Amino acid sequence: MECYTEEFKVRSNFPYPGRPVQFTTLSHARNTYAEFVQYCDKFGMGKPAAAFIYFGKADDVVNLNGIYLYPDYPDRIMESGPKGGVKIGRT
């Protein structure tokens, strides 16, 4: 099932969401996020922010004057675990 998420980031305090990134499957998104977690750990950038996963196409996200408008509720939440792994939870 195709899914998308906003760009991965280290901190979630930026007020505007990033651009959407399309993934072919949920496991593809998890593997890419795991690589990002390892990258952050390798360079001491801190724990990455949780990523909200939406099912469907990234083309559905509206860009309004440079601000991306995502659906109100994500389908899954992906975050780094306490030992560097990745866990995906339902919403």
83 or 69, which is more confident: 69
CA distance 39 to 37: 5
CA distance 89 to 69: 22
Residue 58 has pLDDT above 90, yes or no: yes
Which backbone phi and psi does 80 adopt, to 5 degrees? -80, 140
Query: Residue ranges per domain, the chain?
Result: 3-90
- pTM (two decimals): 0.89
For the residues 30-55, what does the mean pLDDT come to?
A: 92
Residue 84 has pLDDT above 90, yes or no: no
Using one digit for the tens of pLDDT, what is the confidence trace for 21-30?
A: 999 999 999 9
Per the prediction, the chain carries an average pLDDT of 91
**Window from 32-36, 66-70, 82-86 with minimum mean pLDDT:** 82-86
